[in-house]
Amino acid sequence: MYGISSHGGPYVPIRAVKVPAVRDGRDFRGRCSLARCGFRRDPGRVTENRPFAAVRETHIGVVFLVGDRVYKLKKPVDMGFLDFSTPELRREACGREVALNRRLAPDVYLGVAQLSDVDDTPGESLVVMRRMPDDRRLSTLVRSSAPVRDAIGRLARVIAAFHTTAERGPHVDVEGTREALAGRWEASFAQVESVGGGVLDPDLLAEIEHRTRDFLAGRETLFQSRIDDGRVVDGHGDLIADDIFVLDDGPRVLDCLEFADRLRRLDGLDDIAFLAMDLERLGAPELGELLLDRYAEHTADPAPASLRAHYIAYRAFVRVKVACLRHAQGDASAADEARLYADIAVRHLRRGAVRLVLVGGLPGSGKTTIGGLLADRLGAVLLSSDRLRKELAGLDPGHHANAAYRDGIYTREHTTRTYAELLRRAGELLARGESVVLDASWSAEAERLLARDVAKRTSSGLVELRCAAPTAVTEARLRGRTGSLSDADPAIAQAMAAAADPWPDAVAVDTSDTPASALAEATRLVLG
């Protein structure tokens, strides 16, 4: 006799089944029939896709699906990260699973039942649940391209509300530190390196490790701010589309990570990023983006895009580790799965890289136009020396402060002060995970050295771009421009050109054509 998996795969063979007495939701000793336990055979609901009874076995338990109920039995195993070795520990684990999962699905987790043998001897504890309809599983709906955007919005609201009331405190916060996340990454790297030989491209794995460490190295301020803002919660820990059901009265989110508290204590964004990653894995990255956007709206979460991308990458690499372990145990098909998840991880690590981009050049070179367009394209913060210089002088940015070269608010002293403040603000933003575009002339090597130091200190990628155009073009721009914050004219531009230090580390961007073409080239140079 064989059961049929609710996930579409085969169950283990069932040779003989002894059905002990069970009563839903409370300890009960004695015998009872299926009818007394609330089961009624309904021929209309017993279909090829929903057998009346089935069994599913995992490495830590056995799940019995009978009619409209699910019974989950813990195996007597001790795997280090969980210990079900005694009846008392298994009973405690069942109670813990019910209590934690009732936070999101109180009407699904009915309680803990107690088995008894035919001689009334107390037996095993089981988690008792309502059986969910397989055809309403989120993963099934996504794979079939069913319209689920509204459901995704409702799900984001449910998870946001759950996180709002979730347990917090120092014992929870400790798992949200940069060091804790780095430790989990490093543990995964070690496991993949030990069992993933021949599965992943070594260069790809090296890139994932390098990009991860760079992001974490410079972002202590970001992670501390998340803790200070109360963003670290006792959450779900294992949000995947297979365990979410879209019902008419709202989603049901099942199977939180109940056996290891520390793995469930995490940044709320990390928690929901797991599901966003899983939706991308199912071929619907746009649904993952929608989920995270709606979650951010409901929680007023100011997280930078880099942190969102990092958590998606982290969750993908957790699945890389699991797939590599399965492959090492003989599952050949897990190799392709590991590569799929690795591609998701590296793609988001690249997308989430924190960058400092210097966009420089002489007056009229188009640096301010390109700097603004590039910041929009990258989702970066734009800081402009022209605006900041006047702010520091107590002037309205639109006020013209025309002066001779290195006179007025353009003295060496005021210029030094302007660049120092420009880089101080950039450093703070980079430490919080925000990429920054700095629009300034960058004509002095001393100022560029300070910028390089900021990038190094915050483990941020540095790109130096020098906008350039023929003199006739730049002079025409200076004479004809309106609404610019700059006070430079052709004479000042000539004086700046004569005094500028060589800039061999910069890559030239030709701005003599359209802004669109210059932006395309600048974007290519930044993103590679």
Given a contact cutoff of 8 angstroms between Cβ atoms, the answer to whether 227 and 122 are in contact is: no
User: Domain holding 425: CATH number?
Assistant: 3.40.50.300
Q: Is 524 exposed, middle or buried (0-12, 13-18, 19+ CB in 10 A)?
A: exposed
Residues 87, 148, single domain; the answer is no
pLDDT at 55 over 70: yes
Confidence of residue 198 (pLDDT cuts 50, 70, 90): confident
User: Domain holding 256: CATH number?
Assistant: 3.90.1200.10
Residues 23, 150, single domain; the answer is no
Distances (CA, A) of 302 to 50, 267, 270, 419: 44, 13, 14, 27
The confidence score (pLDDT) of residue 49 equals: 57
Q: Which tokens sit at 45?
A: 């609901």
Residues 214, 345, single domain; the answer is yes
* CA-CA-CA-CA torsion sign (173, 174, 179, 184): negative
63-91 as b/e: b if 16+ CB within 10 A = bbbbbebbbbbbeeeeeeeeebeeeeebb
Please name the residue that has the structure tokens 């008419």: 248
Over the stretch 202-246, which tens digit does the pLDDT of each residue have? 999 999 999 999 999 999 999 999 999 999 999 999 999 999 999
Confidence of residue 196 (pLDDT cuts 50, 70, 90): confident
Residues 195, 54, single domain; the answer is no
Over the stretch 146-174, which tens digit does the pLDDT of each residue have? 999 999 999 999 999 999 999 999 999 99
Residues 512, 389, single domain; the answer is yes
The confidence score (pLDDT) of residue 523 equals: 97
Confidence of residue 28 (pLDDT cuts 50, 70, 90): very low
The confidence score (pLDDT) of residue 441 equals: 95
* Domain-terminating residue out of 104, 131, 158: 131
pLDDT at 483 over 80: no
pTM of the full structure: 0.86
pLDDT at 43 over 60: no
Per cent of the chain over pLDDT 70 is 87
Confidence of residue 477 (pLDDT cuts 50, 70, 90): confident
Residues 6+ apart with CB under 8 A from 337: 319, 323, 326
pLDDT at 40 over 90: no
Residues 160, 309, single domain; the answer is yes
Q: What are phi and psi of 182, to 5 degrees?
A: -60, -40
Please name the residue that has the structure tokens 């056996």: 259
Which residue segment(s) compose the domain that 242 sits in? 136-350
Please name the residue that has the structure tokens 């799940």: 63
* Lowest pLDDT segment from 1-5, 48-52, 92-96: 1-5
* Domain-terminating residue out of 131, 158, 187: 131
Residues 6+ apart with CB under 8 A from 47: none
Residues 364, 321, single domain; the answer is no
Number of domains in the chain: 3
Confidence of residue 426 (pLDDT cuts 50, 70, 90): very high
Higher-pLDDT residue of 478 and 256 is 256
Confidence of residue 9 (pLDDT cuts 50, 70, 90): very low
Residues 120, 145, single domain; the answer is no
The confidence score (pLDDT) of residue 484 equals: 63
What's the rounded mean pLDDT across residues 139-147?
98
Residues 126, 151, single domain; the answer is no
Confidence of residue 79 (pLDDT cuts 50, 70, 90): confident
Residues 142, 288, single domain; the answer is yes
Over the stretch 118-137, which tens digit does the pLDDT of each residue have? 777 778 899 999 999 999 99
Residues 95, 206, single domain; the answer is no
Confidence of residue 282 (pLDDT cuts 50, 70, 90): very high
Residues 478, 463, single domain; the answer is yes
* Lowest pLDDT segment from 41-45, 109-113, 209-213, 337-341: 41-45
Mean pLDDT computed over every residue of the chain: 88
pLDDT at 395 over 90: no
Of 343, 312, 314, which Cα lies nearest the Cα of 183? Answer: 314
Of 424, 412, 419, 408, which Cα lies nearest the Cα of 386? Answer: 419
Distance CA 518, CA 61 (A): 60
Over the stretch 491-502, which tens digit does the pLDDT of each residue have? 888 888 899 999
pLDDT at 355 over 80: yes
* Domain-terminating residue out of 72, 104, 131: 131
The confidence score (pLDDT) of residue 20 equals: 36
Q: Which tokens sit at 457?
A: 């200190």
